[in-house]
Amino acid sequence: MKKISSKFAHYLYMVLAVVAVAFATTACSDDNTSDLQLSGDCTIQSLVLDQYEGTVDLASRTVTVRVPETYNTDEMTLAKLELSEGATADLAVNDKLNMSVAHSMRVTNGDVFLDWTIKAMRDEAKILSFKLNGTYVGSIDETAKTISVFVPGGVDITKLVPNITVSENATVTPQSDMPLDFTNPVQFTVENNTAKATYTVTVKQIDKPTMLFVGTANDVTGLNAEEADACNWMLQNVSNSLYVSFADIQNGSVDLSECKVIWWHYHKDGGVDGKAAFEKAAPEAINVAAKLRDFYNAGGSFLLTRYATNLPAFIGAVKNEGCPNNCWGGKEDSPDIIGGPWNFFMNGNNSHAIYQNLVAGDNANGVYTCDTGYGITNSTAQWHIGADWGGYASNEIWESETGGKALGFGGDGAIVVWEFPANAGKGGIICIGSGCYDWHTTVDTSSDRYHQNVETMTMNAINYLMNK
């Protein structure tokens, strides 16, 4: 008898295996139908948490239960659950649920199942953003329920069109996008089921601003979060102040005749390191440098923070036209969470006006700006001092070559706060490039012992420059 080769045997085995699988598949039952029960409906028809009926969205398989604005959702009872016929769920009536977060619920019917999302949503009645004529951005004080809008003097405030965004599901009266007379304060009422709030909107015309916050964006809504937080603070706390773009200054649409201080707080994720990098990153500022130089030469002052500290080199304020030589920064969406308070050092400048009335930390020489747990980008624009590199072997050499005065220092001796004093009719300039100086964070700062020092130091600097 002739033997079958091992290769042919393997081939024959594979063929027989395929045939066997095919036969088994077609022979599962006499009527050629599967035993799987695939016709079941897995719908939530009704759901109630405590006494609040949920809204069922079949498309997204979501049930949303709306509760009052201050309702405690930490322990809610599944009071009612109605499913499609024959269906069951992995949650049952009388189950206690922590609805401060969304829950997943699986509904099963036969051999079919669907996962549903159950969430509690507090009624919220807030104005989230407010703008007039699509241009003039309102500064919202949520605690006081007030909105302040500053517009140039030539704007007709009797026919301004509000552009309003409100909380999800909320309505606002008077409605958005309809012209209104803002000669006197106007009240806007926001309602959302059980929640209700009334905001008072005041429009102030400013013909000749005393202070400006300048930026590369057309308006405040175009600023990044770090810049916007600083700008909105100024609008709320400094009278007769406006936001303007560099383009506004370039085309002469803002009257600078009574402006005493221009503040630029410039943030860019990843940092702006070096003079060439600054020119590339902020051409809007470079394009208007001549007009900013004229403002400076005529006695106008600047508060320049973060990467805006490069600007003095372009307006004739730095003797050697130098820029900070040691710059870096992180990204707002991935901040460093600090393990202890952050500060820089005054080193003999404790009596300077910008350091008055600060909350003190453990080191009397330190300026503390944020506490343990704060999320920060550590965005820094400083002058490295030392014979190793950078071109400035000592503070004295730096001051002689730049014409600046060092006011604040990092732990390694780098100059992180400095001043170009007013002289010969020119304005004064305060520069803050410390990574500790930070306005925006994704972390709750309500219990931070030191973060208020950022506001205090900024107001000190503004008052100091106003009097130059």
pLDDT of residue 441: 95
Query: pLDDT tens-digit profile of 126-138?
Result: 999 999 988 788 8
Q: How much is the average pLDDT of 265-287?
A: 97
Residue labelled with tokens 């008077």: 174
- Which DSSP helix (H) or strand (E) runs through 231? helix 225-237
Share of the chain above pLDDT 70, in %: 92
Non-local CB neighbours of 207 within 8 Å, separated by 6+ positions:
152, 153, 154, 255
Non-local CB neighbours of 360 within 8 Å, separated by 6+ positions:
368
Q: How much is the average pLDDT of 167-178?
A: 94
pLDDT of residue 36: 58
Question: CB–CB of 461/432 below 8 Å?
Answer: yes
Confidence band for 150, pLDDT divided at 50, 70 and 90 = confident
Query: pLDDT tens-digit profile of 287-304?
Result: 999 999 999 999 999 999
Which phi-psi region, left, alpha or beta, contains residue 124 (left: φ > 0; alpha: ψ -120 to 50)?
beta
Taking the alpha carbons of 126, 128, 132, 136 in that order, is the dihedral positive or negative?
A: positive
Domain 44-122 and domain 125-207, same fold? Reply is yes
Query: pLDDT tens-digit profile of 75-86?
Result: 999 999 999 999
pLDDT at 13 over 70: no
Share of the chain above pLDDT 90, in %: 82
pLDDT at 455 over 90: yes
Domain 125-207 listed as CATH 3.40.50.720: no
pLDDT of residue 27: 40
As given in the structure block, the two tokens for residue 348 are 């003999």
pLDDT at 181 over 90: yes
pLDDT at 139 over 90: no
Query: pLDDT tens-digit profile of 349-372?
Result: 999 999 999 999 999 999 999 999
- Chosen CATH of 208-466 out of 3.90.320.10, 3.40.50.970, 3.40.50.880, 3.40.47.10: 3.40.50.880
Burial of 184: CB neighbours in 10 Å, binned 0-12, 13-18, 19+? exposed
Confidence band for 190, pLDDT divided at 50, 70 and 90 = very high
Non-local CB neighbours of 137 within 8 Å, separated by 6+ positions:
129, 130, 131, 149, 219, 220, 221, 243
pLDDT at 32 over 70: no
- Chosen CATH of 44-122 out of 3.30.450.20, 3.40.1030.10, 2.70.98.40, 2.60.40.2340: 2.60.40.2340
Question: CB–CB of 370/342 below 8 Å?
Answer: yes
pLDDT of residue 152: 81
pLDDT at 19 over 50: no
Query: pLDDT tens-digit profile of 327-356?
Result: 999 999 999 999 999 999 999 999 999 999
pLDDT of residue 22: 42
pLDDT of residue 175: 92
Which residue ranges make up each domain of the chain?
44-122, 125-207, 208-466
Please tell me whether the peptide bond between 335 and the residue prior to it is cis, using omega within 30 degrees of 0. no
Residue labelled with tokens 């049952």: 92
Give the C-alpha separation, 373 to 451, whole Å: 12
